[in-house]
Amino acid sequence: MDKYIKLRFYKDRFFKTLIILFTVLSTVPLLLILFYIIKQGISTINWDFLINLPKPVGEKGGGIINGLIGTGIIVLIGSLIAIPFGALVGLYLSEYSRNKLTYWVGLSVDVLQGIPSIVLGIIIYLWVVKPTGHFSALSGSIALAIMMLPPIIKSTEETLKLIPGTIKEASLALGVPYYKTILRIILPMGFSGILSGSILSISRVAGETAPLLFTAFGNPFINTNILKPMSSLPLLIFNYAGSAYEEWHNLAWGASFVLIMMILFLNIVTKILERRWKIQY
Q: Tell me how far, at minimum, the Cβ of 85 lies from another protein, in Å.
A: 24
End-to-end CA distance of the chain, in Å?
Answer: 51
83: how many CB neighbours lie within 10 A of its CB?
22
User: Nearest-CA neighbor of 129 among 228, 218, 238?
Assistant: 228
Q: Give the integer Cα–Cα distance in Å for 40 and 250.
A: 8
Site string for another protein, 109-148 (x = CB under 8 A): ----------------------------------------
**Does the protein bind another protein through residue 167 (CB under 8 A)?**
yes
User: Binding pattern to another protein, positions 239-268, x when CB under 8 A?
Assistant: ------------------------------
Element (H, E) at 163: none
Q: Does 171 bind another protein (CB under 8 A)?
A: yes
Structural contact between residues 150 and 240, judged by C-beta atoms closer than 8 angstroms: no
Q: Which stretch binds another protein (CB under 8 A): 26-34, 122-130, 170-178, 224-232?
A: 170-178
Helix (H, G, I), strand (E, B) or coil at 217: strand
280 is a site residue for another protein (CB under 8 A) = yes
CB-based burial of residue 48 (10 Å sphere; 0-12 exposed, 13-18 middle, 19+ buried)? exposed
Asked if residue 172 binds another protein (CB under 8 A), the reply is yes
Q: Which residues contact 175 (CB under 8 A, 6 or more apart)?
A: none
Rule CB under 8 A: choose which of 166, 224, 225, 243 binds another protein: 166
| CB closer to another protein out of 48 and 169 | 169
Distance CA 258, CA 37 (A): 10
The reply on whether position 84 binds another protein by CB under 8 A is: no
Q: Which stretch binds another protein (CB under 8 A): 43-51, 130-138, 175-183, 220-228?
A: 175-183
Print the binding letters for residues 86-105 with another protein: x by CB under 8 A, - otherwise: ------------x-------
Of 22-30, 82-90, 163-171, 252-260, the window that binds another protein (rule: CB under 8 A) is: 163-171
What does the DSSP 8-state code read for residue 186? I
The reply to whether 184 sits near another protein by the rule CB under 8 A is: yes
Query: For residue 37, what is the enclosing H or E element?
Result: helix 2-41
| Amino acid identity at 258 | V
Binding site for another protein (CB under 8 A): 98, 164, 166-167, 169-177, 180-181, 184-185, 188-189, 279-281
